Amino acid sequence: MNGHYNDRMLAVRYVYVLALVVWLGGMLLLGAIVAPTTFQVLQAGDPVSGRALAGALFGSTLARFHYVAYGAGALLILALGTMRVLGPKPAAYAVRTLIVAAMLGVALYSGVIVLGRIDRIQQDAGILPSRLPAGDARRVEFDALHLRSTQLMMANIAGALILLYWEAKEHS
């Protein structure tokens, strides 16, 4: 009987770590490799339309990744709850659950509100917001939303690193 318990707990921990790694790895990959490479390669061919295409491509990639984040967040909460029920309760269970819930909230806000507003600005402008005059309200708002999106992802990266540290420490 104890072997089945250990197998179940191992499976739940595996799902937890896998979801965390997919979410964290995806954020790091998008920010450190996909975004800069996409803009660099596409702008090299044509600075104006290449930038527009890069923005559209990365925006679509980021929007799709948000679904990965939502799924990973749900799996993390489910796994933490399952570990608590099966016992022993994970160290700092309440704090970990709060961090995951906050990360999921941040991802939802970023994916629905921030990216939605960015899309509306781009459609309204009809051109790249970066090609609008510096004082144009749409460009100012776009720049602020872009910065907010980056800050939100950095906050989620920090949360994921804290969760990964706890998991490593708990099983070291």
Tell me what the mean pLDDT of segment 141-149 comes to. 95
In this prediction, residue 33 carries a pLDDT of 97
Q: Identify the pLDDT of residue 3.
A: 67
Q: Residue 103: its pLDDT value, please?
A: 98
Distance CA 103, CA 76 (A): 11
**Dist CA 111 CA 109 (whole Å):** 6
pLDDT at 2: 64
Q: Supply the pTM of this predicted model.
A: 0.90
User: Which tens digits make up the pLDDT trace of 1-17?
Assistant: 566 768 888 999 999 99
For the range 111-120, what are the long-range contacts, defined as Cβ-Cβ under 8 Å and sequence gap of 24 or more?
A: 111/63, 111/66, 111/67, 111/69, 111/70, 114/145, 114/148, 114/149, 114/152, 115/59, 115/62, 115/63, 115/66, 115/149, 117/141, 117/145, 118/59, 118/142, 118/145, 118/146, 118/149, 119/59
What pLDDT sits at residue 49?
A: 87
Where is pLDDT greater, at 8 or 70? Answer: 70
Tokens of 129: 């917001």
Residue 136 has pLDDT above 60, yes or no: yes
Q: With contact defined as beta carbons under 8 Å apart, do 27 and 161 qualify?
A: no
- Of 36-45, 51-60, 107-116, 126-135, least confident by mean pLDDT is 126-135
Q: What is the mean pLDDT of residues 34-60?
A: 91
What pLDDT was estimated at residue 87?
A: 81
Give the number of other CB atoms < 10 A from CB of residue 115. Answer: 17
